[in-house]
A and B are shown apart, each in its own frame.
Chain A
Amino acid sequence: MKLAKQILAIALVAAVFAAFDIAVYNVVTKRYINPNSASMQAKSVELSKYLPFEENSEIVKLNSSFKLTGDLPVIDGAAALYPVFSAFVNAVYPDGSVIFDGENFTPDSALHYTNTRGAYKAIVDGEADLIFCAKPSEEQLAYANEKGVELELIPIGREAFVFIVNAENPVNSLTEQQVRDIYSGKIRNWSEVGGKNRLINALERNEGSGSQTRMLSFMGGEKIKRNAFAALTGSAIGFSFRYYVEGMVGNSGVKMLSINGVYPDKEHIANGEYPLSSNFYAVCRKDDENENLRGLIGWILSDEGQRIIDESGYVPLE
């Protein structure tokens, strides 16, 4: 009898630990597993897939008559725009101007990638001459002011700010007001917008990222509220830019939502029907007098530059 009780006690303790581990794995761990490598996750984009001057690169290759020589502007930018500015470099920079060590660009490379936050810091600090990003955040503008740098933003194309949910979520469309109400905590359950009876886990990005800056602008000053309980039990909604979701990550487990009944495809961005379309920019220092810089911006706005934007999957200005 005593032996049976002892075995039962040992089994019970083992079962408690096992139940805890299984619960943690299913409720938390499983959601964070990413099929991409740790280095790719840290950078948000697999740099080697979109390298210029590489035969197997997935960028758009265009043989331009416009070529840069001499003082080459150092380029940087956002993850979602990396395939585009890498294609610009491929088209007009001399071969050998980009040095990639297998994981990162070296300091003397004309092409860098440090994402939106790094790129805005780099252009203010003089480490980059031209960056490709969404509009800067208030903090990024304040940093430029503090350093006495005036930034010039030149629109070069259009992109859609999109909201994404799990592919199995029955909700396909939200109004702008519903999205604001979700993020401000007024709508807390998917059943309030036609979905299942599950809490809404409204996800945010890190401060200073292009999409987070766009989200704060979309909220128009209304404060974003997080529901910690929904983070464990809810079904998520997140935001990003269309091309990053559709073209670069291409994860079939998520879907983009229509906003006010309009789906964020190229056609609806180009004709202005998708309500959350916005420009993306080439950003330089206003006092930069490098002739190559102005020449490069002019070329990006020309038919050739706009064709790269179009064929890369983004929406050109016209």
Chain B
Amino acid sequence: MKDKIFYGILIAVCVVGAAASAALVIYTFQLYQHASIISYIANGG
């Protein structure tokens, strides 16, 4: 594989991975804002 292609794929994987992680963190924060003690405990918290 040419270096240019390799680094292109690597950057694409990093961008997609970072976006997915950021989305998960934002989603978690939104859940946290409306968290219920009862469902939190029931979910094994």
Contact = CB atoms under 8 A, between A and B. Distances in A.
B43 A253 contact: yes
Contact of A24 (B9, B14, B21, B35): B21
Nearest to B2: A6
6 contacts: A3-B1, A10-B10, A32-B45, A35-B39, A203-B37, A254-B41
Interface in A224-256: 235-240, 245, 249, 251-254
Interface stretch (A12-20, A54-62, A140-148, A177-185): A12-20
Contact of A238 (B6, B24, B41): B41
A254 B31 contact: no
B24 A167 contact: no
Contacts of A14: 13, 17
A29 B35 contact: no
Contact of A31 (B14, B24, B43): B43
A16 B39 CA distance: 30
Contacts, number: 113
A28 interface: yes
B37 A38 contact: no
Interface in B5-39: 6, 9-10, 13-14, 16-18, 20-21, 24-25, 27-28, 31-32, 34-39
Contact of B42 (A18, A240, A253): A253
A209 B17 CA distance: 40
Chain B contact residues, majority secondary structure: helix
B43 to A, nearest CB: 5
A236 B40 contact: yes
A237 B40 CA distance: 10
B28 A28 contact: yes
Contacts of A286: none
A154 interface: no
Given A6-B6, A21-B20, A24-B25, A32 B42 contact: no
Interface string A297-318: 0000000000000000000000
Interface in A1-46: 2-3, 6-7, 9-10, 13-14, 16-18, 20-21, 24-25, 28-36, 38, 41-42, 44
A269 interface: no
A201 interface: yes
Contacts of A25: 24
A223 interface: no
A205 interface: yes
A254 B34 CA distance: 18
Contacts of A245: 38
B24 A24 contact: yes
B21 A20 contact: yes
Contacts of B35: 32, 34, 41
Contact of A17 (B1, B6, B18, B27): B18
Given A21-B20, A240-B37, 16 more contacts: A10-B9, A17-B13, A17-B14, A18-B17, A20-B21, A28-B28, A32-B31, A32-B39, A34-B34, A34-B36, A165-B41, A166-B44, A201-B45, A203-B37, A245-B38, A253-B42
Task: Give the one of A3, A236, A237, A245 with max B CB within 10 A.
Answer: A236
